[in-house]
């Protein structure tokens, strides 16, 4: 039992160390090597454009359900018109970035781990190394850069669609006065709420891509290994996003809102 | 040119290489034979720095690979070309993109010159006109030939072949042997081939090393190896299992 615990802790610390080394390599590569623009553009298309439907549906239905639940509670205390303010602050600083990140982790993080894992088990990564191409420069940097770039845009879309969907539900389904609904939203939503959301989502983007790349590059041999790497990529990045979100909320709220 | 000194490598408790030492001179064609799972591919990967030995070192022109980081190793590897067992073609790219990969990354040639060079090398491996195909559309033999084209297009000094004829029928294996001989003749490269295909070994080798129980067991010309009376060498090159040797 003690040996098992010791090995688990040792593996965990080794994994964290390896991810830290990979992050160092990525930063080094950004300064030392030429960015492969063609791959970067393709990754922006794959990660950004292709994730839109998932993100938009998530944003819209999250906004709608949040609006309905808030209205049901606020209606009891005659605060109906504050509904959209709650939706916009929640979507901007919490639900928008977190749910977008979780959806992208499921779609993109898994795809990155599976693709790099397959490349590893079919010796394509070794082939890259023999062709004098560093896997971090050629495979990791375009994926991490693209994910970090598109996450704020995807999150902005999710927030905008969520608020719009909530407005439509509030006005046309729940019968809230539209003027007061908008007015209260503007009154209680600060630019710092959105800024917190965009800082968070950028960090989440880096987490998704780095974990996906790390799991792919260290994938065990065989189809089973690729399967494990893909699953672990989604699980670890999702857990890391949720934990990081808590600490970022505390830190950023103190820094930006002084609370 | 290439020197392996006392290379040792273990995976868990299993020791795969147990003190392998040999050297290869410039322009030589050396074949390393040995049983499946005996560490031949591991040895080949150590020669190019894809795997690091637990002990010992590899020297290229007297320069050790052991004290180099991955980025320094990339420069050393630009002197090598390698054909992998499964060809390891990039499956998201066409044949033309696979073969021209290094030339495009180097950026020293114009796009027309890259295409011209790729066409020349595909012609050399008898695959002209297949530029636009994806690896999934190719047969095993064609994939190996594309892998070879990719390994020689930038004119390396040393070419490593990992089981180049494994899984191919005798006719295709013969064509790969002819290609390896053509590459040596035309490009004057040093070649190291890892195989357990004895017919192929006899045809392409100037010298044969036999890896047995993690060590270089014997080293000689093809005639010396194939006429050896040593029971281990004799059994291996003639494909006689232990059971058969004992009359079972």
Retrieve residue B85's tokens.
């067992």
> Which residues of chain B lie closer than 8 angstroms to A24, CB-CB?
none
Phi then psi for residue B130, to 5 deg, are -105, 15
Q: Residue A108: how many CB atoms within 10 A of its CB?
A: 30
The reply to whether residue B50 touches residue A130, judged by beta carbons under 8 angstroms, is yes
Provide the terminal-to-terminal Cα distance of chain B, rounded to the nearest Å: 46
Q: DSSP state, A169?
A: I
Contact predicate B19/B214, CB 8 Å? yes
Q: Is B71 on the interface with A (CB under 8 A)?
A: yes
Handedness of CA A240, A242, A246, A249 (dihedral sign): positive
Residue A41's pLDDT is 95
Q: Is A121 on the interface with B (CB under 8 A)?
A: no
- Collapsed DSSP state (helix, strand, coil) of residue A2: helix
More confident residue, A32 or B152: B152
pLDDT, tens only, A150-209 = 999 999 999 999 999 999 999 999 999 999 999 999 999 989 999 999 999 999 999 999
Q: Is B11 on the interface with A (CB under 8 A)?
A: no
The alpha carbon of residue B26 is apart from the nearest alpha carbon of chain A, in Å, by 20
B243 pLDDT band, cuts 50/70/90, is low
> Average pLDDT in the B88-98 region?
94
pLDDT at B207 over 70: yes
Phi then psi for residue B116, to 5 deg, are -65, -45
pLDDT, tens only, B64-77 = 998 898 889 999 99
Walking along chain A (259 residues) 10 residues at a time, the average pLDDT comes out as 85 89 92 86 94 95 96 93 94 95 95 96 94 92 96 96 96 94 92 94 97 94 92 95 96 84
Retrieve residue A211's tokens.
């974990």
Residue B38's pLDDT is 86
B13 pLDDT band, cuts 50/70/90, is confident
Contact predicate A114/A232, CB 8 Å? no
Closest residue of B to A124, CA-based?
A: B88
Residue B126's pLDDT is 86
> Average pLDDT in the B92-107 region?
93
B187 pLDDT band, cuts 50/70/90, is confident
B176 pLDDT band, cuts 50/70/90, is confident
Handedness of CA B110, B115, B120, B125 (dihedral sign): positive
Give the rounded percent of residues in chain B with a pLDDT score beyond 90: 62
- Write down how long chain A is: 259
The reply to whether residue B89 touches residue A124, judged by beta carbons under 8 angstroms, is yes
Q: Is A122 on the interface with B (CB under 8 A)?
A: yes
Residue A259's pLDDT is 65
Range name among A131-140, B3-12, B87-96, B178-187 with the lowest pLDDT average: B178-187
Chain mean pLDDT for chain B: 90
Shortest CA distance to B31 belongs to which of B237, B238, B240, B242?
A: B237
DSSP for B37-69, written as a single string: TSSHHHHHHHHTTSS--SEEEEEETTEESTT--
Question: What is the rounded distance in angstroms from the CA atom of residue A256 to the CA atom of residue B165?
Answer: 65
CA B136 vs CA A10, B87, B101: distances in Å: 41, 12, 18
Residue B81's pLDDT is 93
pLDDT at B185 over 60: yes
Residue B136's pLDDT is 93
pLDDT at B247 over 60: no
Residue A129's pLDDT is 93
pLDDT at B244 over 80: no
Count of pairs with CB atoms under 8 A, one residue in A, one in B: 51
Q: Is B150 on the interface with A (CB under 8 A)?
A: yes
pLDDT at B246 over 60: no
The reply to whether residue A134 touches residue B70, judged by beta carbons under 8 angstroms, is yes
Closest residue of A to B50, CA-based?
A: A126
Name which of B74, B86, B151 is nearest A123 (Cβ-Cβ).
B86
Assembly ipTM: 0.89
B51 pLDDT band, cuts 50/70/90, is very high
Residue B186's pLDDT is 85
- Collapsed DSSP state (helix, strand, coil) of residue B71: helix
- Put simply, whether the predicted model's pTM sits higher than 0.80 gets the answer yes
Residue B169's pLDDT is 84
* Chain CA centroid to CA A220, Å: 25
Contact predicate A203/A210, CB 8 Å? no
């Amino acid at each position: 039992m003690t040996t098992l615990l010791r090995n688990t802790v040792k593996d965990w610390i080794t994994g964290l160390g390896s991810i830290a080394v990979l992050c160092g390599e990525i930063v080094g590569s950004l300064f030392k090597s030429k960015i492969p623009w063609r791959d970067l553009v393709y990754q922006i298309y794959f990660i950004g454009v292709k994730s839109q439907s998932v993100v938009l549906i998530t944003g819209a239905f999250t906004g709608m359900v949040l609006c309905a639940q808030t209205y049901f509670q606020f209606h009891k205390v005659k605060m109906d018109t504050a509904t959209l303010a709650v939706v916009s602050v929640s979507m901007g600083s919490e639900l928008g970035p977190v749910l977008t990140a979780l959806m992208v982790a499921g779609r993109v993080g898994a795809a990155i781990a599976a693709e790099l894992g397959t490349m590893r088990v079919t010796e394509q990564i070794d082939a890259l190394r023999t062709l004098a191409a560093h896997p971090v420069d050629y495979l990791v940097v375009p994926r991490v850069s693209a994910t970090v770039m598109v996450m704020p845009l995807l999150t902005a879309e999710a927030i905008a669609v969520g608020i719009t969907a909530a407005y439509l539900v509030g006005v046309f389904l729940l019968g809230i006065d539209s003027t007061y609904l908008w007015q209260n939203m503007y009154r209680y939503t600060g630019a710092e709420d959105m800024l917190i959301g965009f800082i968070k989502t950028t960090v989440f983007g880096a987490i998704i891509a780095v974990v996906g790349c790390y799991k792919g590059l260290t994938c065990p041999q065989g189809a089973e290994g690729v399967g494990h790497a893909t699953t672990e990529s989604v699980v670890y990045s999702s857990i890391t996003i949720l934990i990081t979100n808590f600490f970022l909320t505390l830190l950023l709220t103190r820094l930006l809102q002084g609370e | 040119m290439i020197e392996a000194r006392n290379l040792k490598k273990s995976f868990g408790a299993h020791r795969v290489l147990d003190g392998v030492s040999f050297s290869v001179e410039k322009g030589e064609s050396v074949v390393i034979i040995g049983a499946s799972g005996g560490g031949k591919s591991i040895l080949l990967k150590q020669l190019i720095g894809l795997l690091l030995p637990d002990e010992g070192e590899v020297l290229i022109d007297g320069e050790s690979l052991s004290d180099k980081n991955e980025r320094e190793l990339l420069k050393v590897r630009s002197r090598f070309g390698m054909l992998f067992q499964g060809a390891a073609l990039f499956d998201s790219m066409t044949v033309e993109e696979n073969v021209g990969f290094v030339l495009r990354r180097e950026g020293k040639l114009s796009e027309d010159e890259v295409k011209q060079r790729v066409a020349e090398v595909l012609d050399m491996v008898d695959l002209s006109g297949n530029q636009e195909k994806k690896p999934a559309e190719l047969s095993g033999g064609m994939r190996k030939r594309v892998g070879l084209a990719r390994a020689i297009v930038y004119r390396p000094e040393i070419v490593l072949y990992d089981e180049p004829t494994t899984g191919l029928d005798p006719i295709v294996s013969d064509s790969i042997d002819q290609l390896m001989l053509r590459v040596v003749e035309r490009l004057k490269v040093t070649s190291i081939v890892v195989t357990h295909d004895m017919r192929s070994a006899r045809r392409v080798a100037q010298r044969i090393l036999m890896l047995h129980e993690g060590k270089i067991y014997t080293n000689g010309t093809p005639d010396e190896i194939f006429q050896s009376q040593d029971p281990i060498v004799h059994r291996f090159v003639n494909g006689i299992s232990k059971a058969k040797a004992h009359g079972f």
